[in-house]
């Protein structure tokens, strides 16, 4: 069964074909990230307009890379939430139109679940992908860490899951992006903070870890403010100094210590939850999804503290892509989940798990 997955929830216009929920046949992604870099974050209107221009060529690319015609496609899966409204609309309207005109079943897929399901891809004939050798097993503990999402979820089986915890404010990737901006590092902040952290001392600055009523929830607003106050203190100013002044007044060594100390605590915050959930639920597999899965610090801390090994998927599949949607779409189709009505499917920007 071949599924075409369409993803437009943020700044990546993406489409992919996946066979039987495990074989990656194509993965076409066009990012508008360069257009957003100047603003230090994704600008929703720019993202939506870029999707309109890119969506048809990206879908055609996905079909041609997979050596497929429309006759070969068994169903279409599309992200209907969570995400930016204008961006989601482009993908959903395109998928609805194609489902009607090409006469294909349509599945509405949750983006956040997709980040976990991409780990079910174990085969490809495409060059340049390093994939897990086996599919995850249930019970499955999933950590979703991206620019827009931070969730920890336990799956007993397909479509039978419980959200254990989530952030009360910023997603972890968003916290990296904001701290990067504070200390004058380029967007996206995750990779630039990681890089700067290599020159710094992760124990130099004592940033706080959040504690919330639900032991699996967390928050990054406290550490973000702590980074701001610490940076103001390091340059000899008080809390009235504008954050815009910080990048030029901090030394490179101070920036590196902030990056390293922030990264250690932010990552420890989520790893603490993973370890607690592992002990409570004894999962057979632990999988990580989302852009922050690329973080070397996250991988290091998990390797040090988790008793089982995590099989990471290729970095190209950690960030937003159509393959994650196609893979989850396959399980929708194969496990008789309801199809979406192509005449009425609407977007769900705040869709939760």
Among 81, 114, 142, 190, binds ligand KG4 (CB under 6 A): 190
Q: What is the 3-state secondary structure (H, E, C) of 285-306?
A: EEEEECHHHHCHHHHHHHHHHC
CB of 11 to ligand KG4, least distance (A): 8
Does position 150 interact with Zn ion (CB under 5 A)? The reply is no
Among 19, 170, 257, 320, binds Zn ion (CB under 5 A): 320
Query: With contacts defined by CB under 5 A, how many residues of the chain interact with Zn ion?
Result: 2
Residue 160 exposed, middle or buried by CB count within 10 Å (0-12, 13-18, 19+): exposed
Does position 322 interact with ligand KG4 (CB under 6 A)? The reply is no
Q: Which stretch binds Zn ion (CB under 5 A): 154-162, 212-220, 251-259, 313-321?
A: 313-321
Taking the least distance from each CB to ligand KG4, the nearer of 98 and 286 is 286
CB of 108 to ligand KG4, least distance (A): 18
CB 243 within 8 A of CB 235: no
Q: Which stretch binds ligand KG4 (CB under 6 A): 20-28, 209-217, 287-295, 323-331?
A: 287-295
List the single partner that 319 binds among ligand KG4, Zn ion, none, CB under 5 to 8 Å by kind. Answer: ligand KG4
Tell me the pairing of strands 140-145 and 150-157. Answer: antiparallel
Among 294, 302, 310, 347, binds ligand KG4 (CB under 6 A): 294
Closest CA to 295 of 152, 183, 169, 143: 143
Q: Which stretch binds ligand KG4 (CB under 6 A): 74-82, 169-177, 232-240, 306-314?
A: 169-177
Residue 191 exposed, middle or buried by CB count within 10 Å (0-12, 13-18, 19+): middle
List the single partner that 177 binds among Zn ion, ligand KG4, none, CB under 5 to 8 Å by kind. Answer: ligand KG4
Query: Radius of gyration of the chain from Cα atoms?
Result: 20
List the single partner that 292 binds among Zn ion, ligand KG4, none, CB under 5 to 8 Å by kind. Answer: ligand KG4
Does position 291 interact with ligand KG4 (CB under 6 A)? The reply is yes
Query: With contacts defined by CB under 6 A, how many residues of the chain interact with ligand KG4?
Result: 20
Instruction: Catalogue the long-range contacts made by 244-252 (C-beta closer than 8 Å, 24 or more residues apart).
Output: 246/182, 246/183, 246/184, 247/182, 247/183, 247/184, 248/184, 250/183, 250/184, 252/199
CB of 148 to ligand KG4, least distance (A): 4
In the complex, residue closest to ligand KG4 by CB: 190
Among 3, 10, 286, 310, binds ligand KG4 (CB under 6 A): 10
Does position 170 interact with Zn ion (CB under 5 A)? The reply is no
Does position 146 interact with Zn ion (CB under 5 A)? The reply is yes
Rounded alpha-carbon distances, angstroms, from residue 261 to 46, 184, 217: 34, 16, 21
C-alpha span between 29 and 44 (Å, rounded): 18
Among 26, 79, 146, 313, binds ligand KG4 (CB under 6 A): 146
Closest CA to 111 of 73, 149, 57, 64: 149
DSSP-derived letter for residue 185 is P
For residue 232, whether the previous peptide bond is cis, meaning omega lies within 30 degrees of 0, is: no
Does position 173 interact with ligand KG4 (CB under 6 A)? The reply is yes
Backbone angles phi and psi of 80, in degrees to 5? -110, -5
Q: Hey, which residues between 75 and 114 contact ligand KG4 (CB under 6 A)?
A: none
C-alpha span between 88 and 110 (Å, rounded): 11
Q: Which residues bind Zn ion (CB under 5 A)?
A: 146, 320
Chain residues binding ligand KG4 by CB under 6 A are: 10, 146-148, 173-174, 176-177, 188-191, 194, 290-292, 294-295, 319-320
């Amino acid at each position: 069964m071949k599924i075409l997955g369409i993803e437009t929830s943020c700044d990546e216009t993406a489409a992919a074909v996946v066979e039987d929920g495990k074989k990656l046949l194509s993965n076409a992604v066009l990012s508008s990230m360069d257009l957003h870099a100047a603003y230090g974050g994704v600008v929703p209107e720019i993202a939506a307009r870029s999707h309109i221009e890119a969506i048809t060529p990206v879908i055609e690319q996905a079909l041609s890379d997979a050596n497929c015609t429309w006759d070969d496609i068994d169903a279409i899966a599309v992200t209907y939430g969570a995400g930016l409204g204008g961006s989601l609309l482009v993908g959903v309207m395109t998928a609805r139109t194609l489902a009607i005109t090409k006469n294909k079943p349509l599945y509405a897929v949750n983006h956040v679940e997709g980040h976990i399901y991409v780990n079910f891809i174990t085969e490809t004939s495409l060059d340049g992908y390093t994939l897990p050798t086996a599919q995850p097993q249930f019970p499955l503990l999933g950590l979703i860490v991206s620019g827009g999402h931070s969730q920890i979820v336990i799956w007993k089986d397909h479509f039978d899951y419980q959200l254990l915890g989530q952030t009360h404010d910023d997603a972890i990737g968003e916290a990296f992006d904001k701290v990067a901006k504070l200390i004058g590092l380029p967007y996206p902040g995750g990779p630039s903070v990681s890089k700067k952290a290599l020159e710094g001392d992760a124990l130099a600055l004592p940033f706080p870890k959040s504690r919330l009523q639900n032991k699996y929830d967390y928050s990054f607003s406290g550490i973000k403010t702590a980074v701001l106050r610490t940076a103001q203190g390091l340059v000899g100013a008080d809390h009235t100094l504008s954050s815009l002044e910080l990048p030029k007044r901090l030394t490179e060594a101070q920036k590196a210590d902030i990056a390293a100390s922030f990264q250690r605590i932010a990552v420890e915050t989520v790893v603490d939850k993973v370890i607690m959930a592992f002990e409570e639920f004894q999962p057979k597999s632990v999988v990580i999804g989302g852009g922050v899965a690329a973080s070397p610090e996250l991988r290091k801390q998990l390797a040090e503290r988790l008793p089982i090994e995590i099989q990471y998927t290729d970095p190209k599949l950690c960030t937003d892509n159509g393959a994650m949607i196609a893979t989850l779409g396959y399980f929708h189709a194969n496990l008789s989940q309801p199809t979406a009505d192509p005449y009425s499917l609407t977007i769900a920007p705040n869709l939760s798990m």
